Each structure stands twice: as structure tokens, then as C-alpha cells.
Amino acid sequence: MKIEFLGTGAGSPGKFRNVSSLALKLLDEINAVWLFDVGEGTQHQILRSTIRPRKIEKIFITHLHGDHIFGLPGLLSSRSFQGGNLPLDLYGPRGIKDFVNVSLKVSQSRLAYPINFHELNEGQEGLIFEDNKFSVYCAPLDHKIACFGYRVVEHDHPGELMVEKLKRLNIPSGPIYGELKSGKTVTLPDGRIVDGKEMIGPAQKGRIVTILGDTRKTENSVKLAKNADVLVHESTFAKGENKMAHNYYHSTNVQAAEIAKKAKVHQLLLNHISARYTGKMAGTLEKQAQSVFPNSKVVKDFDVFDVPFQKLKEQEGSL
């Protein structure tokens, strides 16, 4: 599981930051990519990455401001031309279906695949997707228009068969190992009875990634981010600009760090950076956030972050 930032800027494209979009790369898990927001120029950013549009299986839109959706019609069209013929699921606030359909109709664009629209009602929260690998939850944030945050929860991985323990017990390898791994009770040739459940190590806790749209500081951010491995939070304003952040329905870097601290996340990644903060000033944003939550980082376009599994001891300590 990796996160790749395709656009980390706020409002309009800049020389060094494109507008909002990030990819949750689940290639090892389900051989797919999920996008979160598709700002103008996202498909150009994708051309500079290793992402293949045909691998994009789901798109989650946080809200309908242009810097988060203006790249969507072009990306959807290009996906057709580049071998994408499987259905695509598109999640977002009510109105996203009209935006896409009108854009495609007016431009007389035809897709080689169907889009399954999942429109979220204002104020909606809870489970919006689940399969045997992942669950996705949403909750409303505090922005000028309906805006959502998303919590992606990977299901726990079954424990591994404790091969070394089996060897110490002189249990021969072969089909017996398969039966024990499935949790069956096996009678060995020498008459011993072995319970497979006792030969399987502890389950590996699944990872949690929380991706928020534009928002003021709100308790729903804490709820979505609780114990997350990674929290992606906007940082449009700097320390001391609380009033301006509130007036424009955004957050400061320090407010984001306070959310991360309260939610007990492992890592905070700050994006949606104003064009006012370039070079050393972006570094200052990061240091200010780190004074509240040390594991904070201001990201830039094309940064890629691996989301590691927690060690079992850390899991036990967090319960």
C-alpha cells in the first residue's frame, strides 16, 4: 500500500504544485489504484508517474470545488483510450453525476466502460464500500459546500502458520501443513492430535489511511482519523492564521497537527498548500506542525509514501 501525491497545491495550479489529487496504490493488495480528487491537470501528472489509468478502479471526490474536480472529464476520457474497459466506481457529493454526465455529453465523449455513481447526501456518514479486503467510511467535514473525508480500513490479515514450531514438534511438511493453516484439527500418523488454531500466529492488523477534504478544524476529522497509520490533512494556512483559516473554511498546519495528536495517528501528511508557501516557507510550515505532532511532513507533488504494517508489539500496546 502506497500513497502518491499527484497534486498538493490549493486553489489553482502553481509552478511547483498542481491542484489536489492523490493516488492510493493498492497494486500488491488488489492490483488496483484508487484516486482521491482529480484536480485540473491530474492526467498530466499521471503521465509523469508509473500509474496506469486502466488500473484506476475507484475515484473518491471530497467536494465539488473546481480545484478538486476539473481534471475529471479528461481523465475519464483518457482511461477509455488507454485500455480501461472495466467499470469504474465514482464516489462524491450529490451533483458529481451531473457534472460528469454534462461534461461528457457537451463534449460528445463516449466511454468504453460504465461508471457506477455513488452520490453522498449532505451530512451522510458511515460505511460506503466494503469487500473482503477493505472497508471505506465517510463523514462530513466543515467547508463552504458539502465536503467529505474518507477512512480506508484494510481488513486484518490472518496469522501465519508457525513453521518453526511445527518443525520443533517433528511434524512433517506436506499436505498436513495446508490443513493446519486452514485451522483444522489433524491426527498425525503417530497418533498425536494437533489443533491447527494453535499453530497459527497472531493476526496482522490491517492498515488505516484517512484522507480529508478541505475543512475547518472539526471533531469529524478526529473520528475519521482515529488510530490511523496515515492522516492526509489540508494545511492551507500557517500557525497564527486561525481567523483567516476559519473565514475561508480551511485549517492551519497547527490545527491539523492537533487533530493528528488527538486522533493518535502514526503519521501526518500535510497537503493543499497555499502558493504563498514556497521553498523555505514550506519548511517552516512543517516545523510549526512538528512542534505539536512530531511525525508531521509537508508533502510535495510526486512524493510517494509506503504505508507499513505496524509491528505486533505496537498493535498490542495500542489496544
Residues 248 and 266 in one domain: yes
Average pLDDT for the chain:
93
* pLDDT for the residue numbered 178: 87
Kindly tell me if the per-residue pLDDT of 46 is higher than 80. Answer: yes
pLDDT in tens, 173-198: 888 888 888 889 999 888 899 998 88
* CATH (domain of 16): 3.60.15.10
pTM over 0.85: yes
The CA-atom distances, in angstroms, between 72 and each of 52, 129, 300 are 15, 21, 21
147, 172, 199: which is the final residue of a domain?
Answer: 199
207: how many CB neighbours lie within 10 A of its CB?
21
Residues 296 and 191 in one domain: no
pLDDT in tens, 139-158: 999 999 999 999 999 999 88
Q: Which of 37, 67, 214, 229 is catalytic?
A: 67
What is the tally of structural domains in the chain?
Answer: 2
199, 215, 248: which is the final residue of a domain?
Answer: 199
Residues 174 and 233 in one domain: no
Q: Average pLDDT, stretch 5-30? A: 95
pLDDT in tens, 215-231: 999 999 999 999 999 99
Task: Please confirm, yes or no, whether 67 is among the known catalytic residues.
Answer: yes
Residues 184 and 304 in one domain: no
Round to whole Å and give the CA distance between 242 and 191: 72
Residues 50 and 191 in one domain: no
* pLDDT for the residue numbered 278: 82
172, 199, 226: which is the final residue of a domain?
Answer: 199
Residues 314 and 232 in one domain: yes
Residues 44 and 109 in one domain: yes
- Structural domain harbouring 253: 2-158+202-318
32-36 and 56-60 strand pairing: parallel
pLDDT in tens, 70-90: 999 999 999 988 777 899 999
Kindly tell me if the per-residue pLDDT of 314 is higher than 50. Answer: no
Cβ(38)–Cβ(26) under 8 Å?
no
As given in the structure block, the three cell numbers for residue 316 are 498490542
Closest CA to 211 of 181, 277, 256: 256
Residues 190 and 121 in one domain: no
Kindly tell me if the per-residue pLDDT of 268 is higher than 90. Answer: yes
Strands (E), 148-229: 148-154, 185-187, 193-195, 208-212
HSE (side-chain half, CA atoms, 13 Å) at 256 = 40
Cβ(218)–Cβ(232) under 8 Å?
no
Residues 195 and 206 in one domain: no
Residues 79 and 107 in one domain: yes
* pLDDT for the residue numbered 315: 45
Kindly tell me if the per-residue pLDDT of 312 is higher than 80. Answer: no
Residues 175 and 34 in one domain: no
Residues 293 and 221 in one domain: yes
* pLDDT for the residue numbered 318: 32
Beta bridge partners of 92: 119
